[in-house]
Amino acid sequence: MEQEFIYQAKQGDTAAYESLVRQHQEAVFRLACLLLGDAGDAEDAAQETFIRAFRSLSTFDSTRPFRPWLLSITANVARNRRRSIGRYFAALQRLVIITPRETGNAESESIQQWEAKTLWKAVQTLNVIDQEVIYLRYFMELSVSETAEILKVEQGTVKSRLSRALSRLREVIRQDFPLLYEGRQA
Amino acid sequence: MSEQQNHDEAWEMSVQDRAKAFSYPATPDIAAAVGRTLRPPQRRNSLRIMARAAILLILLSIALLFVPEIRASVLEFLRLGAIRIVPQTPAPTLSPSQPLSLLDLNSVASLEEAQEIFRLPIRLPTYPADVGAPDRIFVIEDPGTMIILAWLVPGTEDQIEMSLHMLRSEELADKYYPWEPEITSVNGRQAFWLVNAHVYDFFGTVGNQSTDWTRYVNMNVLIWEQDRITYRLETTVTLEEARQIAESLQEVTP
């Protein structure tokens, strides 16, 4: 079905493209949220991603999966937006993207959410290469091969980047987020 | 399995578990917004008006090409790789106090980061023998990609002695240079040598977004192309020395 939508969208069918957007908007929006740290910016970035993708559809190889291609554009769009340094720091200061999830076990859920949010804050302090690989692999739960396709690198490079990023993350958490670090030790 | 490996795996699992619990905001209806943007306007009248405006614009452009000065500025430019030399007279007005200095750029990167972003081999000069590693590395990615390596005047933090700019040759940058550039060569291939102060304007070509980055250049500039990369060397040295620097570039080995 996705192949058919892509074929029709390549012919200029915007309705078919809207269906494709609907299928992938959550993944694109979430990656943009992680990278930009602000839901409003992420929504703008997601829209820009899909509009760019539509205009570049003729260059997309339909034999390849669509999602990595889209997420690769998302990462580029987010990177460009973060270069607008003022917006980036303002977003960092707000740190407001997390909304509580409905749950039956409020206490354990809130601890989990605090840990997840604190982990995200720690990742935000890493360089962009480390951030991207951690977000794609652990937050978005993508496979190594999909992550490699998005980052346009070999799978071995993904593994070595992950290893370096995890080690830097551990240092950041140990130094700047001691409560999270102690939680891990517990 | 060693203790260290166990420790690393436990750490990875811990990151994985915590990341899974991350709570995202609800996804807005992006499809509807994208659809509104992409759908062509329904009103036939507006289409007709736009078509007429386009025809008028084309006719006006053709008429303007009959004015020699305009024809010269529009059509007669030189291009080498990503760099187009526009003989526009007068050049865009930009006083020497206005330009964005390279050192004002925020996007300072390490050589490794620049290499990751550029995705083509970054080469460093090996001439003169004491040139050393660049003091500053800048990346512009908004949205075209340009890597700039800068060497500072020894003992200063705010004066650039030489800078080497690298663009992928599919990008586009304009130099407003109303003089004839000197034609020279680097590694046996055509190169340009510019000695007058001029305005330099870079913008990207990804998608339909373009961002201008305009600078006033008051150093000598050597432009050449090698392996799909267009190089600009901004320097105060002579042409002969600049060529030696250009021909000394060697790929950085990790």
Q: pLDDT value at position B90?
A: 56
From chain B, pick out residues whose CB is under 8 angstroms from the CB of A85: 106
HSE-CB of B118 using CA atoms within 13 angstroms: 27
For the cut 80, the answer to whether the pLDDT of residue B201 exceeds it is no
Cβ of A15 and B141 within 8 Å? no
For the cut 90, the answer to whether the pLDDT of residue A132 exceeds it is yes
For the cut 70, the answer to whether the pLDDT of residue A97 exceeds it is no
Distances (CA, A) of A153 to A44, A64, B145, B166: 27, 16, 18, 21
Nearest CB partner across the interface for B34, out of A47, A83, A113: A47
Determine which of B4, B8, B11, B27 to mutate to test the interface with A (most A C-beta atoms within 10 Å): B27
More confident of the two residues B142 and A80: A80
* Each residue's pLDDT tens digit, B158-175: 888 999 999 888 777 777
Q: pLDDT value at position A99?
A: 41
For chain B, say whether A134 makes contact (Cβ under 8 Å). yes
Residue B12 lies in a domain: no
Q: Mean pLDDT of all residues in chain B?
A: 80
Of the pLDDT bands very low, low, confident and very high (cuts 50, 70, 90), residue A71 is: very high
CA A124, A125, A129, A130 dihedral sign is: negative
Cβ of A55 and B208 within 8 Å? yes
Distances (CA, A) of B3 to A169, B16, B94, B115: 19, 20, 63, 34
Specify the amino acid at residue B136.
R
Q: Which domains are delineated in chain A?
A: 1-97 (1.10.1740.10), 102-186 (1.10.10.10)
What is the rounded distance in angstroms from the CA atom of residue A148 to the CA atom of residue A31? 15
Going by the DSSP 8-state scheme, the letter that residue A126 receives in this structure is: S
For chain A, say whether B208 makes contact (Cβ under 8 Å). yes
From chain A, pick out residues whose CB is under 8 angstroms from the CB of B28: 29, 43
Report whether B249 contacts B227 (CB < 8 A).
Answer: no
Residue B40 lies in a domain: no
Query: Of A20, A23, A65, A74, whose CA–CA distance to A46 is shortest?
Result: A74
- Mean pLDDT (whole number) for B238-249: 95
Residue B65 lies in a domain: no
Cβ of A80 and B142 within 8 Å? yes
Give how many domains chain B has, as a whole number: 1
Of the pLDDT bands very low, low, confident and very high (cuts 50, 70, 90), residue B44 is: low
**b/e burial code for range A35-50 (CB count within 10 A of at least 16 → b):** bbbbbebbbbbbbbbb
- The pair phi, psi for residue B237, each rounded to 5°, is -80, 175
Q: Mean pLDDT of all residues in chain A?
A: 84
Residue B49 lies in a domain: no
DSSP for B120-170, please give it.
S--EE---STT--S-SEEEEEESSSEEEEEEEEPTT-SS-EEEEEEEEETT
Q: How far is A65 from chain B (nearest CA, A)?
A: 19
Nearest CB partner across the interface for A46, out of B19, B30, B208: B30
What is the rounded distance in angstroms from the CA atom of residue B248 to the CA atom of residue B128? 9
Helical residues (DSSP H) of A64-154, grouped into ranges: 66-82, 85-94, 106-124, 128-134, 144-151
Q: Which domain holds residue B105?
A: 73-251
DSSP collapsed to 3 states, A3-49? HHHHHHHHCCCHHHHHHHHHHHHHHHHHHHHHHHCCHHHHHHHHHHH
- Mean pLDDT (whole number) for B195-201: 78
Nearest CB partner across the interface for A33, out of B12, B25, B206: B25
Determine which of B17, B18, B110, B146 to mutate to test the interface with A (most A C-beta atoms within 10 Å): B18
Q: pLDDT value at position A138?
A: 95
Q: pLDDT value at position A80?
A: 78
Report whether B115 contacts B123 (CB < 8 A).
Answer: no
- Mean pLDDT (whole number) for A135-159: 93
Q: pLDDT value at position B157?
A: 83
From chain B, pick out residues whose CB is under 8 angstroms from the CB of A50: 30-31, 34
Q: What are B233's two structure tokens?
A: 């060397």
Query: Which helix (H) or strand (E) element contains residue B117?
Result: helix B111-118
Q: pLDDT value at position A183?
A: 67
Residue B84 lies in a domain: yes
- Mean pLDDT (whole number) for B29-45: 79
More confident of the two residues B31 and B98: B31
From chain A, pick out residues whose CB is under 8 angstroms from the CB of B142: 80, 83
**DSSP bridge pairs for B160:** B152
Nearest CB partner across the interface for A14, out of B39, B116, B209: B39
- Mean pLDDT (whole number) for A157-164: 93
What is the rounded distance in angstroms from the CA atom of residue B163 to the CA atom of residue B237? 12
Q: What are B140's two structure tokens?
A: 């512009």
* Each residue's pLDDT tens digit, B65-120: 666 555 545 545 688 888 888 776 555 555 544 445 777 666 667 888 888 888 88
Residue B86 lies in a domain: yes
Specify the amino acid at residue B72.
A
For the cut 90, the answer to whether the pLDDT of residue A135 exceeds it is yes
Q: How far is B31 from chain A (nearest CA, A)?
A: 5
From chain B, pick out residues whose CB is under 8 angstroms from the CB of A152: 119
Residue B239 lies in a domain: yes
What is the rounded distance in angstroms from the CA atom of residue B33 to the CA atom of residue A18? 9
Cβ of A134 and B113 within 8 Å? no
Q: What are A134's two structure tokens?
A: 């951690």
Query: Of B149, B151, B132, B131, whose CA–CA distance to B140 is shortest?
Result: B149
Max mean pLDDT range (A76-85, B116-125, B196-205): B116-125
**Percent share of chain A, pLDDT over 70:** 83
Residue B62 lies in a domain: no
Lowest mean pLDDT among A21-30, A47-56, B17-26, B59-68: B59-68
What is the rounded distance in angstroms from the CA atom of residue A165 to the CA atom of residue A162? 5
Q: pLDDT value at position B237?
A: 93
Query: Of B215, B219, B222, whose CA–CA distance to B242 is shortest?
Result: B222
User: What does the angle CA A165 – CA A171 – CA A175 come to, to the nearest 5 degrees?
Assistant: 145
Q: How far is A39 from chain B (nearest CA, A)?
A: 7
